[in-house]
Amino acid sequence: MLRGFLASLLLLLPLTATAAEPVRLVTGTDYAPFADENLPEGGAVTALVRAAFTAAGRNTELTYTSWNRALEETRLGRFDVTAPYVHSPERVASFHYSSALLDVDSYALSSRDRNAMEKSIGPGMPGPRACLPLGWSAQPALRALLENGTAQRIETPHVASCLKMILADRVDFFVISKQVGLHLMKTEGLQPQAFRFSEKPIAYSTLHLVVPRERRGATALLEEFERGLALIRANGHATAILARHGLIE
């Protein structure tokens, strides 16, 4: 009888090991090459996140929505994790952050014809208009300008709208990484020659996966992710993903 019981238990073990619910991952779009539903694998960060969970033995269910909704619905428990996001004081209060997935340098983008960039971020310049898509966290350099009234905050629901608003003289500048900005110009049919990036980055940030603090088992889930991330970095899979998306040669 004992032998039969042990045999039955052994048969059940593989089922138990694979019975974990898939991780419900949600992300936004229009943030190529990091996250975009029109890119292969959903973009570099989306691919990294899914590969890390796979390496940890977890499947993922991927959903795309707006950046604001992705963050809020994850906080409310409708999704387990979301990525990529940068640090902000408001988010840290509600979410656990993973280790850094990628480093991102951000530049001030403005119109080449108006040469508004230096005016936008120069000391003592009154009220330049900064474009900020909904769901995007203000970079520390931009946050300071907005909070002290040096810059005006102009919000738009879509990232690509910021580029069009620059050309239409509805905003003066937009803080964005060069990779994202150049990809948006290409997909929107805009000429890069019409724009100007600042000579040096004005902000440095890192991209992360976030897990809501109120989620049951949040710490354990984040630990699973970190184990998987370490594995794909050690075996070269992470490097291959970044290379496929043009982030490293």
Least confident of 52-61, 75-84, 176-185: 176-185
pLDDT mean across residues, the chain: 86
**CATH, domain 23-103+205-244, list 2.60.40.1120, 3.30.70.260, 3.40.190.10, 3.50.50.60:** 3.40.190.10
What's the token pair of residue 153? 């905050």
Question: What architecture (CATH level 2) is domain 104-204?
Answer: 3-Layer(aba) Sandwich (3.40)
Report domain extents, the chain: 23-103+205-244, 104-204
SS3 110: strand
Residue range 32-59: mean pLDDT, rounded: 96
**What distance in Å separates the CA atoms of residue 120 and residue 171, rounded to the nearest whole number?**
10
Predicted pLDDT at 249: 66
Share above pLDDT 90 across residues of the chain, in percent, rounded to a whole number: 67
Residue range 99-117: mean pLDDT, rounded: 84
Do the domains 104-204 and 23-103+205-244 match in fold?
yes
Contact 129, 137 (CB under 8 A): no
Reported as a single tens digit per residue, the pLDDT across 4-15 is 443 444 344 443
**What distance in Å separates the CA atoms of residue 29 and residue 34, rounded to the nearest whole number?**
9
Reported as a single tens digit per residue, the pLDDT across 203-221 is 888 999 999 999 999 999 9
CA 118 to chain centre: 27
- Angle 88-92-96 (CA atoms, 0-180°, nearest 5)? 130
Predicted pLDDT at 14: 40
Element (DSSP H or E) covering residue 207: strand 203-212
Predicted pLDDT at 43: 96
